[in-house]
């Protein structure tokens, strides 16, 4: 059997001494797409940010392993160089820094060495073509004045250039109209291969109509309370999260 690409093992995460993620475990094999779905306040973004090493989130237990190597004690840049990527729900504006310079620095950091300008331009043009993004896009400042859809396309452009082993997508569909959602989803599908894995965190089923998950997990109160195939997302779309929330309350009361 193929060794796991990414493992979350009994992870416990707190924010300001409040426990948010509770002994959460998940295993991603190469080539898999996992979707985590949950209502607001269920711990989705806390999970995403803690996987990348955001200093606001304290890991009190468990482990995070990429290709068998623990990353819990690593800084975010170390995790990124190892092959972990986070697409933010709310990407930050960086006025005065052009996309093209930002992307070249990011690629050099990922490789651990300065990438020659000619090689960078060749790779950039290839990825821009594959994602059908105009070259003028990278002449702008990072996310400065970008629409919601443009910010998410910038995240997908980074994904294509950095070629991480595991991509954590934190509500990438948030705030997108139907056309932007389709474009972003096509970018995710273009990146995905048998050699990497995607953890897609979302509130709604709509992105899963474009990015087909192998596994869907329901997150309630920082715990995965149900896992299944893509049909589970359809159940959530039809019935909502309330049945799972009620069941979780009953389990807590009887435990």
* CATH code (residue 49): 3.40.50.300
**Tokens (6 digits) for 5:** 């690409």
The answer to whether residue 198 sits within a structural domain is yes
Secondary structure letter of residue 197 according to DSSP = E
pLDDT for the residue numbered 1: 56
Let me know if 43 is exposed, middle or buried by CB neighbors in 10 A (0-12, 13-18, 19+): buried
In a domain, 122, yes or no: no
pLDDT of 159 reads 94
Angle at 168 between CA 159 and CA 128, to 5 degrees: 15
Using CA atoms, how far apart are residues 207 and 218, in angstroms rounded to an integer?
A: 16
Q: What's the total number of domains in the chain? A: 1
Q: Is residue 25 part of a domain?
A: yes
Give the pLDDT confidence score for residue 173 in this predicted structure: 87
Q: Is residue 201 part of a domain?
A: yes
Quote the domain boundaries for residue 72: 6-92+168-254
User: Whole-prediction pTM value?
Assistant: 0.92
Please report the DSSP string for 120-167 in residue order.
Answer: HHHHHHHHHHHHT--GGGGGSEETTT--HHHHHHHHHHHHHHH--SEE
In a domain, 121, yes or no: no
Structure tokens at 237: 């779309």
pLDDT of 179 reads 86
Asked whether residue 212 is assigned to any structural domain, the reply reads yes
pLDDT values of the chain reduced to their tens digit, one per residue, 255 residues: 568 999 999 999 999 889 999 999 999 999 999 999 999 899 999 999 999 999 999 999 999 999 999 999 999 999 999 999 999 888 889 999 999 999 999 999 998 899 999 999 999 999 999 888 889 999 999 999 998 889 989 999 999 999 999 999 999 888 888 888 988 899 999 999 999 999 999 988 899 999 999 999 999 999 999 999 999 999 999 999 998 888 766 565 455
Q: CA triplet 26, 32, 36: central angle to 5 degrees?
A: 50
Does residue 24 lie in a domain region? yes
Q: Does residue 156 lie in a domain region?
A: no
What pLDDT is attached to residue 191? 93
């Amino acid at each position: 059997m193929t060794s796991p690409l990414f493992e979350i093992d009994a992870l416990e995460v707190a924010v300001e001494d409040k426990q948010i993620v509770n002994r959460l475990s998940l295993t991603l094999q190469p080539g898999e797409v996992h979707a985590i779905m949950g209502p607001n306040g269920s711990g989705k973004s806390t999970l995403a940010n803690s996987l990348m090493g955001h200093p606001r989130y304290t890991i009190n237990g468990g482990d995070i392993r990429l290709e068998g190597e623990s990353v819990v004690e690593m800084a975010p840049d170390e995790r990124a160089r190892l092959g972990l990527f986070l697409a933010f729900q709310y990407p930050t504006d960086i006025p005065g820094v052009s996309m093209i310079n930002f992307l070249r620095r990011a690629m050099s950091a990922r490789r651990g060495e300065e990438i020659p300008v000619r090689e960078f331009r060749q790779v950039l043009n290839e990825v821009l073509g594959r994602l059908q993004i105009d070259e003028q896009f990278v002449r702008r400042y990072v996310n400065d004045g970008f629409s919601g859809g443009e910010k998410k396309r910038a995240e997908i452009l980074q994904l294509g250039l950095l070629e991480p082993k595991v991509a954590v997508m934190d509500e990438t569909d948030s705030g997108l109209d139907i056309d932007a959602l389709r474009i972003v989803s096509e970018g995710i599908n273009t990146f995905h291969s048998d050699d990497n894995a995607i953890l897609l965190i979302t509130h709604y089923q709509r992105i899963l109509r474009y990015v087909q998950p192998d596994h869907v997990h329901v997150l309630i109160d920082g715990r995965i309370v149900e896992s299944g195939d893509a049909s589970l997302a359809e159940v959530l779309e039809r019935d909502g999260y309330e049945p799972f929330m009620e069941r979780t309350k009953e389990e807590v009361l009887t435990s």
